[in-house]
Every structure is written in C-alpha cells, then in structure tokens.
C-alpha cells in the first residue's frame, strides 16, 4: 500500500488507516473482554496488516476500554510488531457514569484527565508509548495552557511521540497552537460522500450558506493530516439506504456501483478512492471487523479516479449541481 507522512513528521503511514472501535466485543461496561473477542481482534488486525495497513486508531472510550485491551492480544502472536506499526489513541470524552461526578456525558481537556487517560491507554494496550495522541472532541471549557502542559509532560516522559486533535475547526486549532510547544500533526474529521461539508464550504462560501471557516485549507497550510472517520457513513454510501430516505444517498450508491463495475473493483474502493484523490492526502479510517470488507476497502489503493469521475460523485453527494 502507498504511504504518506503523517503531518510534518517522519512517520511513514499507510494512506488507509484501521479504526479499532469495532474491536473488543460489547459496549456494555459490565461485560469483560472475552477470548472470542480477542481472537476476532487478532484476525481483523492480521488482515489489515496483510493489506499493508500499518496505522491503527484507538480511543480510550471505545467499548469502555475493551477495544484497546483486545488489540493488545496481537503482541502475544507478534511481539516484534510494536516497532513496525503506528498506534494512535484519543482522549477527552468522559462517558456518563465514568466518574462519580460525571452525571452526563461531557468533554474534559484538563491536565489531569489527559495524563490519566494516556496512562490508562498505555496499560490496556500493553505498550510503553503512543505514537500519536489526539484530543477527541472540542471541550468548551478548554484551557490551552493545561493542554500544553500535559502534552509537554507526556512528550518529555516518552509516553507520547506526536499530538493532534479530532473534530476541531480552524479557529480551535489556532487557539491551541498559540499555546502549544508540540506541533499538531492530525485532525480527525467526519468526511464522506454523504458528509462533505469540509469540501463544500469552500464551494458555497459567499452563496446563501456562509461558512468560510477554512478548516481544510488551514490543515493543508499547516501540514496537519486530515483523517476521515466514517468514510462509508455507516454503509449508506454503499447501500444508498438512509433514514429518512435521501435522494443524494441513492444517487451516490448508484454511481459508485456503476464506477466499481467499470473498474472491476469493490464498491468500498470507489468510496475511498474519492477521498484519496484529494490533494490534501486525506487518510480514511476504516472500521469494519470483517476481513472481506477490509480487503475490499484496501482495493482503493489501486484505484485512480479521473477529475470528471470525482466531480460526478461530489455532485451526487451534494444533491445539486455546482453553483
């Protein structure tokens, strides 16, 4: 698989990443990790590795930590693997009931929460360091000086090599960067043919929808890799099925089917090839645990869409012609 550099770092990563939220079995907090979930995790990880993926994305909250625990089962079979792959995790979301005082779900970018979350991830992943740590969703109560202190301590102790964010706007990135000593190397954002605001805001600016935040352009300017989560929009990009029904979703799915047949690849490959075509070097994150679907998605590495094909898909996803 072709590779890219993550942000402005020497990390050479597969341009398709594997998202580990599906590993670990149940989302029920009371259910512990079982052996079958570990076996399923190892099978999915091995398939991803065989397809050339070397980048694995986690979060401390996935399956209440069981996703990270399940991933660690790979070390028993391949103890030499740790230095050959890139492990990323995220922190900042506090689930309802996770702490005695968290009566509702919330976000927390305090020094204590960030550092405590990393310690928990390292323990569950059975590793001494994270290659990358992302702040998960923007905390309205963020104090950038605390984030900077947490990042500095985690970096100087060798527990985290690089840092980034998830779901942050250009303005939120600017605020953090003003205080940080560590560069931000990634911004993980929802992006797909049915969630294309990041692309569309540059098209509709000064039309009736006034956006102009410029997050895509800011990330490109500052060498911040955009990681696309939910690139299949829970399968709707492939099936065309949404609730409520969407004409755009049906049009996207029909066009993907047409292009997949013409190019002799799976439909998942077309959906990801659309993201990979963009000059920002977007890194899609796939999350399926089914080996056959992992392989289908990775076919995107061999697909090159024309400019006309890219725009046909873009217009189908927009649900209207270009302005």
Provide the β-strand partners of residue 17: 285
The CA distance from 276 to 124, in Å, is: 32
Tokens linked to 34: 């079982």
Tracing tokens 């609730």 back to the chain, one arrives at 243
For residue 273, count other CB atoms closer than 10 A to its CB. 25
CA 288 to chain centre: 13
Residue 75: HSE in the Cβ half-sphere, 13 Å Cα cutoff: 13
Provide the β-strand partners of residue 56: 18, 87
Contacts of residue 263, Cβ cutoff 8 Å, sequence gap at least 6? 269, 270, 303
Which residues form the catalytic set?
Answer: 62
**Segments in the chain forming alpha helices (H):** 35-50, 66-71, 74-77, 111-125, 144-156, 170-179, 197-204, 215-221, 236-239, 247-263, 267-276, 291-298, 307-318
Q: Is the peptide bond before 244 cis (omega within 30 degrees of 0)?
A: yes
Tokens linked to 64: 């209440």
Cβ pair 96, 64 in contact under 8 A: no
């Amino acid at each position: 698989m072709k590779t890219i550099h993550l942000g402005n770092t020497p990390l050479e990563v597969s341009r398709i990443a594997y998202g580990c939220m599906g590993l670990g079995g149940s989302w029920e907090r009371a259910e512990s990790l079982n052996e079958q979930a570990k076996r399923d995790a190892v099978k999915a990880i091995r398939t991803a590795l065989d397809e050339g993926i070397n980048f694995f994305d986690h979060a401390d909250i996935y399956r209440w930590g069981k996703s990270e625990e399940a991933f660690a089962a790979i070390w028993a079979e391949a103890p030499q693997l740790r230095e050959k792959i890139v492990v990323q995790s995220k922190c900042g979301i506090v689930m309802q009931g996770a702490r005695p005082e968290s009566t509702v779900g919330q976000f927390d970018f305090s020094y204590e929460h960030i550092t405590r979350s990393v310690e928990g991830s390292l323990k569950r992943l059975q590793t001494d360091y994270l290659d990358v740590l992302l702040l998960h969703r923007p905390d309205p109560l963020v104090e950038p000086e605390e984030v900077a202190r947490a990042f500095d301590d985690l970096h100087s102790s060798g527990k985290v090599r690089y840092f980034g964010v998830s779901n942050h706007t250009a303005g939120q990135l600017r605020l953090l960067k003003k205080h940080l000593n560590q560069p931000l190397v990634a911004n993980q954002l929802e992006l797909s043919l049915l969630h294309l605001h990041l692309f569309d805001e540059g098209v509709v600016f000064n039309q009736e929808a006034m956006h102009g935040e410029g997050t895509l352009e800011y990330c490109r300017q500052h060498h911040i890799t955009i990681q696309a989560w939910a690139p299949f929009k829970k399968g709707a990009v492939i099936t065309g099925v949404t609730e409520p029904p969407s004409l755009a979703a049906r049009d996207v799915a029909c066009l993907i089917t047409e292009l997949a047949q013409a190019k002799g690849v799976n439909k998942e490959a077309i959906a990801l090839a659309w993201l990979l075509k963009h000059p920002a070097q977007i890194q899609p994150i796939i999350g399926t645990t089914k080996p056959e679907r992992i392989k289908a998605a990775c076919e995107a590495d061999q697909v090159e869409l024309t400019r006309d094909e890219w725009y046909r898909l873009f217009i189908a996803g927009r649900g209207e012609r270009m302005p």
